[in-house]
Structure 1
Amino acid sequence: MSVLLNNRNYRNLLLAQITSLAGTGISTIALALLAWDLAGANAGSVLGTALALKMVAYVALAPAIGVWAHKLPRKHWLAGLDFIRAALILCLPFVTQIWQVYVLIFVINACSAGFTPVYQSVLPQILPDRSDYIKALSWSRMAYDLEQLLSPLLAGLLLSSIGFRELFVADTVTFLVSGLLIVFCTIPKALEPKRQKGILHNLHFGLSSYLKTPRLRALWGAYFAVASGSAMLIVNTVVYVKENLKGGEQETALAMSVAGLGSMLIALKLPGWLKKFSDRSAILAGGGLITLALITGSMEPGWPVYLLTCLMIGMGLSFIQPPAGALITRFCQESDAPAYFAANFSLSHFCWFLAYLLAGWSSTALGLSISYTLMATLAVAGVIYARHTYPNPDPEELTHTHSAKDQSSIPVEHSHHFVIDNEHRRWPT
């Protein structure tokens, strides 16, 4: 880690990520409490709808941003979006109507849809060594997990002296700090992709290339399990704790922090494990853990088993999400990385869109036990699809044939590391 931190640009980006994640974690709890304040027992449906709107922004806008990413002044773009998000989040303490929550959440996350794919495409250029990049992905996941662990605890401490609406002010400050850290980064210019066609063609390229790659298609299946687990945590923890366990705001923060602890425990060990085991094994193990946790939750357990359920969901998330970035980088040309990351961002958040709606509305209409059962069903379907789609064995090089370009040439058969690009339009069978 000390070697990575000697890279000033990576250090600033990591600190920016940690800072903004800390604020986002606090405001996630504040948003759940705001939903409860505005809607009471219907908080699950309000929160589910708000977060589904967040996913609409991601799914609709991220691929379009990926098309333009190589033309953007990336440092100013990233910092500017942080500052805009800070201003928008500062409006949340003054919300008095549910529709205002929906509007603000959509606009804030439209900015996030423009930020995250560009940020993800910067990291491989700053850390060109694959080993360093995989470590950085694991540490990024660690930052996320540390946020899940510490932010609820910090929120619990803050809630003992201030109201939950004031927590949004803390999130505003974190985005301002994140933007300033990015301003002092040196971000390399994006590589110009070989594709020079129109916007619609390039938009189609990212999505279709991602879905033509078997491992990435399997990753998308695994994201249905990720979305199912995280949606139940974010949407229904406050409902479960307050209604079933008769807890309060601090107990809600505790349950979320246990999920963060589970995720962090796996993230610490995962880089070493991935040297011995395949990405496929890690992804399927994570999906299995999430499914088991959701089945356990459907039995509506008491405090000890419920906390174990949260721990298992956190562990499952960390088995799947860190290998994702390495898989995407491995199976695309470097110049095409923004388009692939944007496709991953959009497709994965389509899973969250479905999961948030299902988790929020099913818990309100059918009860928490049925809601857990439905989410477990969605998770297991994703795991089965991922297992079926991910190649096993998983060779690095593939033999394939290029057809003759004209009558004077002959087909060419050769082997190399295969990715979908301008020269290779379909996956060899």
Structure 2
Amino acid sequence: MVALLFHPVFGRLFAAQVLALVGTGLLTVALGLLAFDLAGAAAGAVLATAYTVKMVAYVGLSPVAGALVARVPRKLVLITADLIRACVALALPFITEVWQIYLAIFLLQTASAVFTPTFQATIPDILGDEDDYAKALSLSRLAYDLENLLSPAIAGLLLLVISYHWLFGGTVLGFLLSALIIARTALPARSTPKDRPFRARLTRGIRIYIATPRLRGLWFLTLTAAAGSAFVIVNTVVVVREGFGLADRDVALALACFGAGSMAAALTLPALLRSLSDRPVMIGGAALMTALMLLLAVLAPSWPLFLIVWALMGLGYAAIITPSGRLLRRSAHREDRQAAFTAQFTLSHVCWLITYPLAGSTMTAWGMAASMGILAAVGLFGIGMTLWVWPEGDPVVVTHSHPDLPDNHPHLAGKGHTHTHALIIDDEHHVWPTHG
């Protein structure tokens, strides 16, 4: 896995990702302190609204932005998105009103909704080998987990000598360095897309996604992952401080356990996926998360058991999320990968848009046991739907017919109307044969 860091293109893109993530981590800490300065005891409500705005931007604007930039060179898209994020972060220290926070978050996350799917869709074109791509996905997962662990620590050290306003400077620097690295990296060109109207470009990724059984399964598995991780993100501080009566450092320890479990999974997945297919690994991770939620719905854990459960939750979460890029790569032609990754970005955040408020409201109203029981039901629903829409075996090569195509159609040349090949939803294949 380490050898990939020396890949002339992927190594640079990974460095750009890490720098942008560190900048985002500093932003998260500084934004919380800014919200407290502006709103005092109502800072929690301000941040909850800000994160809701973030999800709305991801869900509502990502498909539109993806369609608008579908023909723009990748390097220009990535650099522009980084520069927009840097400009917004530069303005944050001068904010004096709560509504300005919401506007800044909306602009920042709109740029991220362009950057992230474009970045993710570029990696499969750089790494053609399936094993290398699996390692790249694990490295990306590790980068996210390390950011969650290290950015608060870095911010804490910086706050010993500077005010939190200067943390926004670190965010700006992270985005600028990311843009500089991308500018100095030779990225593969997009494959030439077919000339389609804007409406077709807007919906193409979603149509490919919904028509492909393994991607429908991915969506429902993401719902299970979102159910468990939403509780961790939203309620860990409440459980640790109110439930166990412990200190802030114990909140950090619990979140570190979740991150450590996720990193452990990311490190072992490349080897595991060489012997197992994605489906059993991902369903196994979903089953683990759901079982842990059911456990906490019926059992009041001790502090050590709670930390173990959080580590296992992180492991299950990474087992679901990390292989998703492999499914997307397998399910779209090269010219449609940007659309497929954008669809995953949009639809996955629909899951968190549902589970974040559900985790917060049920915890506030009824406590951890009831909240975990409700979220476990969501997790079971996700697993059940996955088993239904993503059948075992998940064939790549499928026998199918084209009764609608004329005899002289290029796709039928030498094959006839009924033939067998690796099936991908495209202009000639609008539905999956077994689910049409």
- Report the TM-score, using the length of structure 1 for normalisation: 0.90
Q: Return 120-129 or 285-294, whichever deviates more.
A: 285-294
1:419 has 2:424 as partner = yes
* Aligned 1:334-373 pairs, distance under 5 A: 334-373=334-373
Deviation at 1:285, TM superposition (A): 1.4
Q: Where does residue 291 of structure 2 map in the other structure?
A: 292
Q: Where does residue 244 of structure 1 map in the other structure?
A: 243
Tell me, what secondary structure is at the counterpart of 1:123?
helix
Tell me, what secondary structure is at the counterpart of 1:415?
strand
* Aligned 1:143-292 pairs, distance under 5 A: 143-158=143-158, 166-194=166-194, 196-292=195-291
Q: Return 136-145 or 10-19, whichever deviates more.
A: 136-145
Q: Where does residue 397 of structure 1 map in the other structure?
A: 397
Give the share of equivalent positions with the same residue, in percent. 43
Tell me, in whole angstroms, the C-alpha distance in 1 between the residues paired with 2:174 and 2:361: 32
Deviation at 1:3, TM superposition (A): 4.5
Does the C-alpha gap of structure 1 residues 29 and 308 become closer, same or farther in structure 2, counting only changes over 3 Å? farther
RMSD: 2.7
Q: Return 202-211 or 249-258, whichever deviates more.
A: 249-258
Deviation at 1:393, TM superposition (A): 2.0
Tell me, in whole angstroms, the C-alpha distance in 2 between the residues paired with 1:370 and 1:186: 52
Q: Return 214-223 or 176-185, whichever deviates more.
A: 176-185
Q: Where does residue 82 of structure 1 map in the other structure?
A: 82
Does the C-alpha gap of structure 1 residues 303 and 94 become closer, same or farther in structure 2, counting only changes over 3 Å? farther
Contact 2:71 2:193 in 1 (8 A): no
Deviation at 1:315, TM superposition (A): 0.9
Deviation at 1:134, TM superposition (A): 2.1
What runs of 5+ residues in structure 1 fail to find an aligned partner?
none
Tell me, what secondary structure is at the counterpart of 2:139?
helix
Tell me, what secondary structure is at the counterpart of 1:398?
strand
* AA aligned opposite 2:212: T
Contact 2:131 2:274 in 1 (8 A): no
What runs of 5+ residues in structure 2 fail to find an aligned partner?
none
Does the C-alpha gap of structure 1 residues 35 and 129 become closer, same or farther in structure 2, counting only changes over 3 Å? same
Does the C-alpha gap of structure 1 residues 2 and 319 become closer, same or farther in structure 2, counting only changes over 3 Å? closer
**1:127-158 C-alpha deviation (Å, 9 max, x unpaired):** 22333222211211122222233334434544
Does the C-alpha gap of structure 1 residues 177 and 293 become closer, same or farther in structure 2, counting only changes over 3 Å? farther
Contact 2:145 2:263 in 1 (8 A): yes
Deviation at 1:373, TM superposition (A): 3.0
Deviation at 1:102, TM superposition (A): 2.7
* AA aligned opposite 2:213: P
Deviation at 1:92, TM superposition (A): 4.0
Deviation at 1:357, TM superposition (A): 2.2
Does the C-alpha gap of structure 1 residues 262 and 155 become closer, same or farther in structure 2, counting only changes over 3 Å? farther
Q: Return 266-275 or 172-181, whichever deviates more.
A: 172-181
Q: Where does residue 131 of structure 2 map in the other structure?
A: 131
**1:143-196 C-alpha deviation (Å, 9 max, x unpaired):** 2222233334434544566565554443332222212211111112211223x2
* Aligned 1:374-413 pairs, distance under 5 A: 374-403=374-403, 405-406=405-406, 412-413=417-418
Q: Where does residue 9 of structure 2 map in the other structure?
A: 9
* AA aligned opposite 2:258: A
* Aligned 1:321-332 pairs, distance under 5 A: 321-332=321-332
Does the C-alpha gap of structure 1 residues 7 and 375 become closer, same or farther in structure 2, counting only changes over 3 Å? same
1:115 has 2:115 as partner = yes
Does the C-alpha gap of structure 1 residues 257 and 162 become closer, same or farther in structure 2, counting only changes over 3 Å? farther
Deviation at 1:53, TM superposition (A): 1.6
Tell me, in whole angstroms, the C-alpha distance in 1 between the residues paired with 2:272 and 2:129: 19
Contact 1:49 1:357 in 2 (8 A): no
Deviation at 1:63, TM superposition (A): 1.4
Does the C-alpha gap of structure 1 residues 126 and 133 become closer, same or farther in structure 2, counting only changes over 3 Å? same
Does the C-alpha gap of structure 1 residues 90 and 311 become closer, same or farther in structure 2, counting only changes over 3 Å? farther
Does the C-alpha gap of structure 1 residues 353 and 291 become closer, same or farther in structure 2, counting only changes over 3 Å? same
Tell me, what secondary structure is at the counterpart of 2:274?
coil
Tell me, in whole angstroms, the C-alpha distance in 1 between the residues paired with 2:187 and 2:273: 29
Deviation at 1:368, TM superposition (A): 4.3
Q: Return 415-424 or 165-174, whichever deviates more.
A: 165-174
**1:45-84 C-alpha deviation (Å, 9 max, x unpaired):** 5444322221111111211233234311321221221122
Tell me, in whole angstroms, the C-alpha distance in 2 between the residues paired with 1:350 and 1:390: 20
* Aligned 1:13-162 pairs, distance under 5 A: 13-31=13-31, 45-93=45-93, 98-158=98-158
Deviation at 1:202, TM superposition (A): 2.1
Q: Return 256-265 or 32-41, whichever deviates more.
A: 32-41
Does the C-alpha gap of structure 1 residues 297 and 158 become closer, same or farther in structure 2, counting only changes over 3 Å? farther
Q: Where does residue 428 of structure 1 map in the other structure?
A: 433
Does the C-alpha gap of structure 1 residues 34 and 358 become closer, same or farther in structure 2, counting only changes over 3 Å? farther
Tell me, in whole angstroms, the C-alpha distance in 1 between the residues paired with 2:215 and 2:232: 25
Tell me, in whole angstroms, the C-alpha distance in 2 between the residues paired with 1:420 and 1:264: 33
Deviation at 1:242, TM superposition (A): 3.1
Q: Return 399-408 or 6-15, whichever deviates more.
A: 399-408
Tell me, in whole angstroms, the C-alpha distance in 2 between the residues paired with 1:96 and 1:292: 46
* AA aligned opposite 1:332: A
* AA aligned opposite 1:294: M
Tell me, in whole angstroms, the C-alpha distance in 2 between the residues paired with 1:185 and 1:408: 44
**1:91-128 C-alpha deviation (Å, 9 max, x unpaired):** 44555654443332222111110111111111112222
Contact 1:26 1:171 in 2 (8 A): yes
